[in-house]
C-alpha cells in the first residue's frame, strides 16, 4: 500500500467519524495506518543505513585490497633485495678469502740478519709491492 492509498483510507476513517458512525473500525484503521507509517519509515531508515554500511564496507575492502597488494609488492621487492644482498655477501666473502690467500703467500721472512726481512714469495724487501698494494700504501702504475 502506497502513501496515497494510506491517506485515502485515513480520510475515509475521519469522514466516518464525522458522519456520526460510532464504531471501533475507524479508530482501529487509523491506528493500523499509523503503525504501517511508522514501520515504513523504520524500514526506509534501515535501508539507508544498510546502503551506507555497504558503501563503507566496499570502501574499506578496496583500501584493504590495495594495502594487501602494496604489502605483496614490498614482499617481492624484499625477496629480491635479500637475494641481491646474499650475492653481494658471497662475493665479499670470496674476495676476502682471495685476499687472505694472497697474504698467506706474501709473508715476512728474515733474511740473513735480524734487521733484514724479505717476502717469502717474491724475495723482495718486506713489505713487498703485493703487500703494500693490499694495505693501500702502493699506488698502481
pLDDT in tens, 47-80: 999 999 999 999 999 999 999 999 999 999 999 9
**Is the pLDDT assigned to residue 33 strictly greater than 80?**
no
Q: What is the pLDDT of residue 36?
A: 83
To the nearest whole percent, how much of the chain has pLDDT over 90? 53
Evaluate if pTM is beyond 0.75.
no
**Is the pLDDT assigned to residue 114 strictly greater than 60?**
yes
Mean pLDDT of the chain: 85
Domain ranges of the chain: 3-88
Q: What is the pLDDT of residue 18?
A: 59
Q: What is the pLDDT of residue 89?
A: 96
At 139, is the pLDDT very low, low, confident or very high (cuts 50, 70, 90)? low
User: Which of 27, 33, 25 has its CA nearest to residue 8?
Assistant: 33
3-state secondary structure labels for all residues of the chain: CCHHHHHHHHHHHHHHHHCCCCCCHHHHHHHHHHHHHHHHHHHHHHHHHHHHHHHHHHHHHHHHHHHHHHHHHHHHHHHHHHHHHHHHHHHHHHHHHHHHHHHHHCCEEEECEEEEEEECCCCCECCCHHHHHHHCCCCCC
To the nearest whole percent, how much of the chain has pLDDT over 70? 82
Q: What is the pLDDT of residue 102?
A: 95
Q: What is the pLDDT of residue 25?
A: 59
Amino acid at each position: 500500500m502506497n502513501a496515497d492509498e494510506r491517506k485515502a483510507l485515513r480520510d475515509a476513517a475521519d469522514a466516518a467519524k464525522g458522519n456520526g458512525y460510532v464504531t471501533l473500525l475507524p479508530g482501529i484503521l487509523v491506528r493500523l495506518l499509523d503503525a504501517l507509517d511508522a514501520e515504513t519509515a523504520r524500514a526506509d531508515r534501515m535501508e539507508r543505513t544498510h546502503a551506507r554500511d555497504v558503501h563503507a564496507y566496499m570502501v574499506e575492502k578496496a583500501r584493504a585490497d590495495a594495502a594487501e597488494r602494496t604489502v605483496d609488492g614490498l614482499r617481492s621487492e624484499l625477496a629480491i633485495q635479500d637475494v641481491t644482498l646474499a650475492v653481494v655477501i658471497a662475493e665479499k666473502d670470496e674476495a676476502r678469502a682471495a685476499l687472505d690467500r694472497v697474504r698467506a703467500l706474501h709473508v715476512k721472512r728474515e733474511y740473513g740478519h735480524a734487521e733484514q726481512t724479505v717476502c717469502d714469495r717474491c724475495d723482495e724487501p718486506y713489505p713487498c709491492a703485493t703487500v703494500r698494494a693490499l694495505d693501500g700504501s702502493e699506488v698502481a702504475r
